[in-house]
Amino acid sequence: MSVVPDRDVALVDLLDRLLTGGVVITGDITISLADVDLVHVSLRALISSVETLIEQ
Amino acid sequence: MADSVVYLYAVTDAAPAEERTDEPVLAGVDGVPVRRVVSGDLAAVVSSVDPTRFSEEALRRSLEDLQWLERTARAHDAVVAGVARSGPVAPVRLATVYLDDENVHALLDERAAEFTAALDRIRGRTEWGVKGFAVRSEGDTSPQVTEDSKPGTAYLMRRRAERDRAARGLQDAAEAAEAVHQEMSALAVASRRYQPQDPRLSGRHEEMVLNVAYLVNEAGAEALRRLVGQQGGQNLRLELTGPWAPYSFATLEEQA
Q: What is the ipTM of this complex?
A: 0.81
- Whole-number pLDDT of residue B90: 95
Domain ranges of chain B: 5-15+22-122, 126-255
The percentage of chain B sitting over the pLDDT mark of 90, rounded to a whole number, equals: 59
Edge-to-edge strand order for the sheet containing B126-134?
B190-193, B208-216, B126-134, B236-244
Inter-CA distances, B36 with A1, A34, B2, B45, Å: 16, 30, 20, 5
Run of H or E including B211: strand B208-216
Query: What confidence tier does B148 reach under pLDDT thresholds 50, 70, 90?
Result: low
Would you tell me how many other CB atoms lie within 10 Å of the CB of residue B22?
6
B117: pLDDT strictly greater than 80: yes
- Which residue out of A19, A20, A28, A54 would a mutagenesis test of the B interface target, given it has the greatest number of B Cβ atoms within 10 Å? A28
Inter-chain residue contact A4 with B81, CB threshold 8 Å: yes
* B202 in reach of chain A (CB within 8 A): yes
Q: In angstroms, rounded to a whole number, what is the distance separating the alpha carbons of residues A4 and B177?
A: 35
Q: In angstroms, rounded to a whole number, what is the distance separating the alpha carbons of residues B198 and A44?
A: 8
Domain ranges of chain A: 28-56
Query: What confidence tier does A23 reach under pLDDT thresholds 50, 70, 90?
Result: confident
Instruction: With beta carbons under 8 A apart, name residues in chain A contacting B213.
Output: 17, 21
* B199 in reach of chain A (CB within 8 A): no
Q: In angstroms, rounded to a whole number, what is the distance separating the alpha carbons of residues B178 and B199?
A: 20
Topology of domain B126-255, CATH: Alpha-Beta Plaits (3.30.70)
Residue B231 or residue B38, greater confidence: B38
Inter-chain residue contact A4 with B26, CB threshold 8 Å: yes
Q: Which of B77-91, B95-109, B229-243 has the lowest mean pLDDT?
A: B229-243
A50: pLDDT strictly greater than 60: no
- Whole-number pLDDT of residue B135: 87
B23: pLDDT strictly greater than 70: no
Average pLDDT score over residue span B192-205: 82
Average pLDDT score over residue span B141-155: 66
B206: pLDDT strictly greater than 80: yes
Inter-chain residue contact A31 with B59, CB threshold 8 Å: yes
- Whole-number pLDDT of residue A20: 78
Instruction: With beta carbons under 8 A apart, name residues in chain A contacting B83.
Output: none
Residue A40 or residue B208, greater confidence: B208
Instruction: With beta carbons under 8 A apart, name residues in chain A contacting B60.
Output: 31, 35
What stretches of chain B show up as alpha helix (H) in DSSP?
56-62, 66-84, 101-110, 112-122, 151-187, 199-202, 218-230
* B77 in reach of chain A (CB within 8 A): yes
Instruction: With beta carbons under 8 A apart, name residues in chain A contacting B90.
Output: 23
Q: Which residue of A has its CA nearest to B108?
A: A25
Q: Are B115 and B252 in contact (CB under 8 A)?
A: yes
B244: pLDDT strictly greater than 70: yes
Q: Which of B99-103, B150-154, B189-193, B225-229 has the lowest mean pLDDT?
A: B150-154
- Whole-number pLDDT of residue B128: 97
Q: Are B213 and B138 in contact (CB under 8 A)?
A: no
